[in-house]
Amino acid sequence: MTARQFKAELFMKMFTQTEGAKARGASRLKVSPLSLIPRHNNVVGVGFGAKISYGASGAVIDSEPAIRVYVKTKLPLSELPAVNRIPPRINGKPTDVIAVGDLSLFSRPTSCGVSIGHPAITAGTLGCLVKRLGDNSDEAFILSCNHVLADCNNADLGDPILEPGPEDGGTAYPPIAELTDFEPLDFIDVNIMDAAIARLQNSGDVTPDIRDIGHIEGPAGPASLYQSVRKYGRTTRHTMGVVTDIAADLRPRVGTATIDFENQLEISGVNGAFSDFGDSGSLVVDAVSKSAVALLFAGGGGTTFAAPIDPVLHRFGVEVISKP
């Protein structure tokens, strides 16, 4: 059986009976099975090649070739319909599911909202671009979370920031930015933000618009109870929510430790979760005016927490870049 036929068999396993019939036809007519993937599906590609396993000694290439399935995000089996689960073997051949993030051509500039991260983490989100107050130069900085850009205080200033983040295939060559400053996370006293900035290596590599949202409008401001908001993040992408708490004190887990925050915003999603792992660093904006409201940093159990934006901007002496 050819590689094309193996891939056609894969789609017969993954999608509906009708689409499976199309896959059989694709195999006979030599049409690329890629055309059978529904637009906006989590699956973004399929191939036939090496299977790579990771263990304590690092990466190991298995001797047997595999059907490689490229996905935006690896999801727990419990979140996948049975029809969309990739079986461990197809026609006797092993499968290998590889997360590649929001797949795009390796070109810049990119909009805000994409996957980024320090080399020591998995991946987070590029919230927005900021500039120093009163600075008329073209120097710009990425705003995101400490735990995304500074690895929970473990990073050094000047460390590279990758785009996309490491879990999504990012490498340090070339990095998109270098860590410039971060508010240290305090594991003893109370925190009011989880934030950091990183200077762009090339000022034109990121445009100030947020994917699916557009340019930020007007000055940043405080949130109000029941305010409608939205964000674009690496994992859940464009979502809508409502501010349901404006003074939340919480104790999220950081590895095996916990850390205290006070006076944070809690956001409840509309028609689904507002965020998930990997969305940390997303800029939360008013749903209508698109003014900056908060910096997303934590969540769980269907809830999302974000730091009010004004103290974050004041800490770094910056303002949000709204338009070129």
Q: Which of 218, 233, 213 is nearest to 282 (CA)?
A: 233
Check residue 73 and give its pLDDT: 76
Query: Is 194 among the domain residues?
Result: yes
Boundary (domain end) residue, out of 210, 228, 255: 210
Check residue 3 and give its pLDDT: 62
Query: Is 50 among the domain residues?
Result: yes
Query: Is 269 among the domain residues?
Result: no
Q: How many domains does the chain have?
A: 2
Report the SS3 class of residue 210.
Answer: strand
Boundary (domain end) residue, out of 38, 70, 99: 99
70 and 14 both lie in a single domain: yes
Query: Is 64 among the domain residues?
Result: yes
- For residue 323, the number of C-alpha atoms closer than 13 Å in the C-beta half-sphere is 4
User: Could you give phi then psi for residue 81, rounded to 5 degrees?
Assistant: -60, 145
Query: Is 256 among the domain residues?
Result: no
Check residue 83 and give its pLDDT: 67
Per-residue pLDDT in tens (0 to 9) along the chain, 324 residues: 566 666 666 665 555 444 444 444 444 444 555 655 666 677 777 777 887 776 655 557 777 888 888 887 777 777 777 767 778 887 777 888 877 766 665 567 999 999 999 999 999 999 999 999 999 898 999 999 999 999 999 999 999 999 999 999 887 778 999 999 999 999 999 999 999 999 999 989 999 999 999 999 989 999 999 999 999 999 999 999 999 999 999 999 998 899 999 999 999 999 999 999 999 999 999 999 999 999 999 999 889 999 999 999 999 999 999 987
Check residue 25 and give its pLDDT: 47
11 and 95 both lie in a single domain: yes
88 and 150 both lie in a single domain: no
How far CA 37 is from CA of 45, 73, 288, in Å, comes to 8, 16, 33
81 and 147 both lie in a single domain: no
Question: Would you state the structure tokens that stand for residue 156, as one six-digit string?
Answer: 């050094």
80 and 148 both lie in a single domain: no
Query: Is 295 among the domain residues?
Result: no
Task: Determine the structural domain holding residue 12 and report its residue range.
Answer: 3-99
124 and 189 both lie in a single domain: yes
67 and 158 both lie in a single domain: no
93 and 126 both lie in a single domain: no
Check residue 284 and give its pLDDT: 98
Rounded-to-integer distance, Cα 280 and Cα 96, Å: 27
Query: Is 319 among the domain residues?
Result: no
Check residue 321 and give its pLDDT: 96
Boundary (domain end) residue, out of 53, 79, 99: 99
95 and 138 both lie in a single domain: no
The CATH number of residue 187's host domain is 2.40.10
Query: Is 25 among the domain residues?
Result: yes
16 and 77 both lie in a single domain: yes
Question: What stretch of H or E contains 55?
Answer: strand 52-55
Q: Which of 115, 141, 146, 144 is nearest to 202 (CA)?
A: 141
